[in-house]
Amino acid sequence: MESGEQATPTFSPSAELPALSEQELAVLRQVGRDWCAGLPDGRRGELPLDPALNRYQSPAPGRFSRIAQVDLFRAAAPNHLVAEEPESAGPSGERLLARVQRVVLGPPLKSAAVVQERLRKLVALPVLSSDLLSSVAYGPEAMLAVLVLAGTTALGLSLPIAAVLLVLMITVGTSYRQTIRAYPHGAGSYVVASANLGSRLGLAAGAGLMMDYVLTVSVSVAAGVDAVVSALPRLAPLTVPLGLLVIAVLLAGNLRGLRASGSLFAAPTYAFVAAMLLLIVVGLAQAGRRGFAPTAAPPVSATEGLSLLLVLRAFASGATSMTGIEAVSNAVPVFKPLEWRNARTTLTWMVSLLVVMFAGIVALTHLQGVIPRPDQTALSQLARKTFHSGPLYGCVQVSTALILLLAANTAYQGFPRLLFFMARDGYAPRTFLRMGDRLVFSNGILILSVATAVLFTTFRGHTQRLIPLYAVGVFLAFTLSQAGMVRHWLRVRGPHWRRSMAINAVGAGLSALVLVTAAVTKFAEGAWVVVLAVPSVILVALRIKHHYDAVHTALAAHTLPPSPGRPEREENQEAVERPDQVRHLSVVPVARLDLAAIRALAYAVSLGQPVFAVHVSPDEEEDDRFRKQWESWGDHLRLEIIVSPHRAIIPSLARYLEALRALRPDVTLTVIMPEVVVKHWWHRPLHGHDTRRLRRAMRTVPGIVVTAVPIHVAA
Amino acid sequence: MESGEQATPTFSPSAELPALSEQELAVLRQVGRDWCAGLPDGRRGELPLDPALNRYQSPAPGRFSRIAQVDLFRAAAPNHLVAEEPESAGPSGERLLARVQRVVLGPPLKSAAVVQERLRKLVALPVLSSDLLSSVAYGPEAMLAVLVLAGTTALGLSLPIAAVLLVLMITVGTSYRQTIRAYPHGAGSYVVASANLGSRLGLAAGAGLMMDYVLTVSVSVAAGVDAVVSALPRLAPLTVPLGLLVIAVLLAGNLRGLRASGSLFAAPTYAFVAAMLLLIVVGLAQAGRRGFAPTAAPPVSATEGLSLLLVLRAFASGATSMTGIEAVSNAVPVFKPLEWRNARTTLTWMVSLLVVMFAGIVALTHLQGVIPRPDQTALSQLARKTFHSGPLYGCVQVSTALILLLAANTAYQGFPRLLFFMARDGYAPRTFLRMGDRLVFSNGILILSVATAVLFTTFRGHTQRLIPLYAVGVFLAFTLSQAGMVRHWLRVRGPHWRRSMAINAVGAGLSALVLVTAAVTKFAEGAWVVVLAVPSVILVALRIKHHYDAVHTALAAHTLPPSPGRPEREENQEAVERPDQVRHLSVVPVARLDLAAIRALAYAVSLGQPVFAVHVSPDEEEDDRFRKQWESWGDHLRLEIIVSPHRAIIPSLARYLEALRALRPDVTLTVIMPEVVVKHWWHRPLHGHDTRRLRRAMRTVPGIVVTAVPIHVAA
């Protein structure tokens, strides 16, 4: 079974620490050989304690020792400790925030648990299909909402448009089945497009998907709140707070982790499917009793003429019913083994359900003469006409609301994974590689929630105003993904490659048609946001990649050419790799000769490197006073006094250090400052932050190390 | 000439660095003797460069050196450099903020300039008297606003109440003349009360003054905006933004410094005095033509009965006309020499002007039959009746608005000075000791502006709603200040001490009466805020003092008893004062063996102290990978690997360090971490903040020094 070339997506917790290349290892070996010269003999092993925490030198527990901490590690092998679960520390659990987090999100999971977090098909179906299936709650209505602009009579066009959409659904679904077979480790549009069409088109697909995920959450939450408000009109003014509440619940649920989501979300999806099928069957039976004669829709006057543009807009709006079809191929690894086979089966089930439900609802809407209304969704009207306002109507609305609110959850699976892949390739900040305590990519989940909350609030939760933004990103990803598959088959040529390629080519062509239609016909209505955002995301991603590459090159270990022709002093002290090349000079800034300062001086002197003290005085008078203190103490070290007539203590010190460094760039300056640490945070404003300020001032100057020697005051 | 006991207020820029006591110096000498044992021989003078910046070892300027920096210092004496003006650095002036600050606030002033910032009497008068004199713009009206609650007839009581207030003004003014004589270096209520009545009552006076200053700004700005709105009623909706704008202008003006304020504020004060005197003369002349027969006021129905309580409330409101009378004695040092004599003369002028203006306005108001109206101030009505709506009316309103807006300026002189004195005594955060670039106490000025802006916005700029908060703080300070003077004369007994004491006793008694009246009669109207705030400020100040004292004690250098009976190992490594007692162990956390890590390892090894490396691995697989890298490099140092199955890199490292420390509290652990520093701030989110996170995690653990070895990447 072939697998994607560079693309073997594994969610390893060590993705943050990528391996060194063979070449890098070779350089490392060379660097290491030079080190021998720089090492004092017999340095190894002369430690005052055993770093493996065997207490062979342990003194009696004293006032300041906390022996309990030692037990948090167990020795698994020589020089090899394993940390125990953090929270078992007990007394250090003073932090309220950590406790609250534990209650809301559950205890941390070990990395080893990552394999167990897999889903059976019947659990994966609701988790991954809620996005796709729930689309029938707003897709058909979005199509009708455009058609009705040309008056009641134009609604009849919904049937042929729906027929085209059904063809599209089946084609794209079949097309994605090919992707799952080709990328059994799971690969979304980003991975497929990157691997086959190059990184730029891959990023375009990724950017499209990002928009898709954010809009999936926004539209699903908006439509879900609509379903609730249709049944309970009194809640209408609370649309925005309700939506934000739902986003918060999704955030917490997903931070808890995948398994919990699966079990939580299974029932509503199945309930929705059952409700829809029942609605369609009962509705068709009722219509059958009338001989399938359509009820006349209430007359609506046209505000626009019936044009090809309008039909295409209606088609693009209706195409939002397909959003979420890519979820399975993105998330193959969450299936139980054999992953790819289970994923394909699930995808087929999903698409079949979609086709039945979409066709049924469009047909029923036509037969019942339902038109879009601002106060009630089309589905709610349909259910009222079919079941009247009985308990069955309630079931439809409740299950619709639940599946829509849960549909947003699909994006919570896909979005962080997408960012993981992009970060692994260097196109997104590395922080998205980090797995949280619960083995989910918490940072991606947080970003998605924030973006969605902003979008939802901006659009005041109006579904039909969000729809125009939706289709562009989705179909951009679809198009690039299928086109990538065409390239894939051309290169790989596995069994039946011609048939697979043909399927993918048709899928790509149809998707591209929808993409162009959506971008052109809805540009003014909001699609321009996406049309602008996609290139911006690509640009930022490329800049990020450029930065990471530059940093990687700069940090690669390099071998210095041997001595001849090279000055003995290495000018850029930061490039020095060997201990014998480091030249030290320690500077101890002293403001007042108290215990903190004396401790810092003792620390500096005891390092055994050249050291002198410096005092910055705001005026001459204080200067004399300090010099007397220094002489009382014994004048043990060279003292330099800087008078700063402008009372700028830290800036003067910073400029002095820069001047020292300019004199001798081959010397590493270590600034050793005393730092008073108080017990309570509310005492911190009572003390200066000289260390922090100096560190900030010295940030841009190379070759300067700022060391704070803390002294803890219980007061 | 006698001076205040502990109180010789000097605004020294070195107040942040108080001198050591004789006892502390003695301990220092003892500590210094012990140090000899800990110093390696001949360490002094063996520096790789000359800290006095003489370039005897200067290499040729290289890529990274900035020789220009060296010229920013000049050697004034051996081991003694003077920093030049910061901004002359030139190329380092990249910071836009610094440039904007310079344009708005002017160039930094040298400390030596502090003496030159003195005022002549004729300049000091407007700066210090604007608060007092401007009070007549709202004080008489505040009195009438209470009386009118009992109907038009009650307004006749304004004359006897005003007579009592005039007696009070003269008494308190004379009383403050005694203070200036006794404290020629300037001493506000806080200093006088602290020196004579003890620190708690001193703090009470200080807290009262703080309220006073904040309310002076708020009430003056509110009344000034009222004056503008009386003339231009269309501006009424802009009351709050206008007030905030004025506060911002005051903030910027005062951050620029004192001298600028004096020249800026002289003209409006004199214009106001002239306008008021003209108003009174013309008004009385007009009334004289009518034979001084009062015009009947328009009838107003009573909403409250005429009671003693109401009269007392009116009295307390009218007493706000006296606010600002203490400004001169607070600010004696801003006068030109001979300071105390100039200050006394100025105070006498001020009080005389106040008496004339207050009496004249109350009399005119009575004669013209003016009653308070919500849309127009009483002064505006008076001016309209006297001058009609001609240019003279305009002059009155403009000069009233200006003096009121500038009156707020007096508080900008006093408030930061008060905080300086409190901080010098340890009752306020030390940051208030710091003089800004322009020789003003910038932090106090900022705090006052913020507090005022909040108060002004909360009360929507309504003068009459702010008045009830005003009198309590002021008269608390007055009472304690005069009472302190009574104690002072009893102890010091200079020439004429009996007479001075008698004057101060009368002043204290009358002030106390007003204080009690104001607190009781206006408690429900808002005075409760001040009644609660004063003890809160005292409590916070006492806690701050307690903390500073505890820190001072903890940081006092102490002599360790000589060896016998004491274990060789000092358990609390942070109490160690001698270099030979410091035991080092360096730990280098390594995530990846790149140049940054190798540089950190080289730095650590070159210090010549015991060192080992530690790697935290998120899983076993990565663990093996890292070990191979380490062996490729040459395995030069002891390596400890910690596997953290919960992927908590920094927390695991932190707990490991705590465990090490628990094993051997007598060892100072130095954690040496590589830190990648990027050039642009927008690249920072792309990198981890491991150093900062570890530093935060290690904050509470004593004996651990976290050192970041920076490596600058140009990318």
pLDDT of residue A42: 45
pLDDT of residue A554: 84
Domains belonging to chain B, first-starting first, are 111-548 (1.20.1740.10), 573-713 (3.40.50.620)
pLDDT of residue B569: 46
A-proximal residues of B, 605-644, CB under 8 Å:
605-612, 614, 617-619, 621-623, 625-626, 629, 632-634, 636-644
According to DSSP, residue A199 is labeled H
Decide if pLDDT at A10 tops 60.
no
Decide if pLDDT at A569 tops 80.
no
pLDDT of residue A576: 65
The contacts of residue A640 (CB under 8 Å, 6+ apart) are: A612, A613, A614, A615, B51, B52, B79, B80, B81
pTM for the full predicted model: 0.78
Q: Find, among A653, A624, A592, A645, the residue nearest to B16 by Cα.
A: A592
> What's the angle, vertex CA B510, arms to CA B418 and CA B133, rounded to 5?
55
pLDDT of residue A159: 92
Q: What's the CA gap between B166 and A651, in Å, rounded?
A: 54
ipTM score above 0.85: no
Output Rg (C-alpha) for chain A, integer angstroms.
33
Tell me the one-letter amino acid at B633: W
Do residue B13 and residue A647 have CB atoms under 8 angstroms apart? yes
Q: Is B38 on the interface with A (CB under 8 A)?
A: yes
The token duo for B261 is 């304020």
| A649, closest residue in chain B (CA to CA) | B83
Would the CA dihedral through B570, B574, B580, B585 be positive or negative?
Answer: positive
| A678 CB neighbour count, 10 Å cutoff | 18
Query: B608 contacts in A (CB within 8 Å)?
Result: 40, 607-609
Output Rg (C-alpha) for chain B, integer angstroms.
33
Q: Is A547 on the interface with B (CB under 8 A)?
A: yes
The C-alpha of B51 sits at a distance from chain A's nearest C-alpha, in angstroms, of 7
Choose among B64, B601, B659: nearest Cβ to A572: B64
**Inter-residue contact A354 to A169 (CB < 8 Å):** yes
Decide if pLDDT at A571 tops 70.
no
Give, rounded to a whole angstrom, the gap between the first and last alpha carbons of chain A.
68
Q: What's the CA gap between B449 and B214, in Å, rounded?
A: 8
Do residue B621 and residue A547 have CB atoms under 8 angstroms apart? no
Q: What's the CA gap between B710 and A139, in Å, rounded?
A: 55
Give the residue with greater pLDDT, A311 vs A579: A311
**Inter-residue contact B708 to B687 (CB < 8 Å):** no
pLDDT of residue A111: 60
Query: A109 contacts in B (CB within 8 Å)?
Result: 646
The contacts of residue A638 (CB under 8 Å, 6+ apart) are: A612, A613, B44, B45, B47, B51, B79
pLDDT digits (tens, 9 = 90+) for A428-444: 998 888 776 666 778 88
Q: Is A163 on the interface with B (CB under 8 A)?
A: no
pLDDT digits (tens, 9 = 90+) for A379-428: 999 999 999 888 899 999 999 998 988 888 878 878 888 898 899 899 99
Q: What's the CA gap between B276 and B286, in Å, rounded?
A: 15
According to DSSP, residue B335 is labeled B
Ranking A17-26, A212-221, B372-381, B513-522 by mean pLDDT, the lowest is A17-26
| A492 CB neighbour count, 10 Å cutoff | 15
State the count of interchain CB pairs (< 8 A) between A and B: 531
Q: Find, among A667, A389, A578, the residue nearest to B65 by Cα.
A: A667
HSE-up (13 A, CA, CB side) for residue A179:
38
**Inter-residue contact A340 to A332 (CB < 8 Å):** yes
CA-to-CA dists, residue B74 to A460, B48, B113, angstroms: 64, 21, 20
B-proximal residues of A, 525-544, CB under 8 Å:
544
Phi, psi at residue A671, to the nearest 5°?
A: -95, 120
Q: Is B46 on the interface with A (CB under 8 A)?
A: yes
**Inter-residue contact A65 to B665 (CB < 8 Å):** yes
Decide if pLDDT at A244 tops 90.
yes
Choose from B114, B574, B652, B711 for mutation: most chain A CBs within 10 A: B574
pLDDT of residue B162: 94
| B234 CB neighbour count, 10 Å cutoff | 7
Question: Using 50, 70 and 90 to split pLDDT, how confident is the model at A243?
Answer: very high
Question: Using 50, 70 and 90 to split pLDDT, how confident is the model at A284?
Answer: very high
B-proximal residues of A, 70-99, CB under 8 Å:
70, 72-73, 76, 79-83, 85-86, 89
Q: Is B13 on the interface with A (CB under 8 A)?
A: yes
Choose among A13, A544, A642: nearest Cβ to B83: A642
Query: B13 contacts in A (CB within 8 Å)?
Result: 618-619, 647
* Mean pLDDT computed over every residue of chain A: 82
Average pLDDT per 10 consecutive residues for chain B, totaling 715 residues = 38 69 78 66 61 53 42 67 56 56 68 62 84 91 91 88 93 90 80 90 92 92 92 89 92 73 76 94 91 82 86 91 85 82 92 95 91 88 89 92 85 85 90 74 90 92 88 90 92 87 91 91 88 94 93 75 46 69 89 87 89 86 85 85 80 86 86 90 85 87 90 82
Helix axes B199-231, B239-256, angle to 10 degrees: 130
Query: B112 contacts in A (CB within 8 Å)?
Result: 619, 645
Query: A676 contacts in B (CB within 8 Å)?
Result: 551, 555
Tell me the one-letter amino acid at A51: P
pLDDT digits (tens, 9 = 90+) for A680-698: 888 888 888 888 889 888 8
Q: What's the CA gap between A627 and A632, in Å, rounded?
A: 9
Specify the 3-state DSSP secondary structure of A151: coil
Decide if pLDDT at A562 tops 90.
no
Choose among B86, B621, B622: nearest Cβ to A646: B86
> What's the angle, vertex CA A191, arms to CA A189 and CA A193, rounded to 5?
60
Decide if pLDDT at A1 tops 50.
no
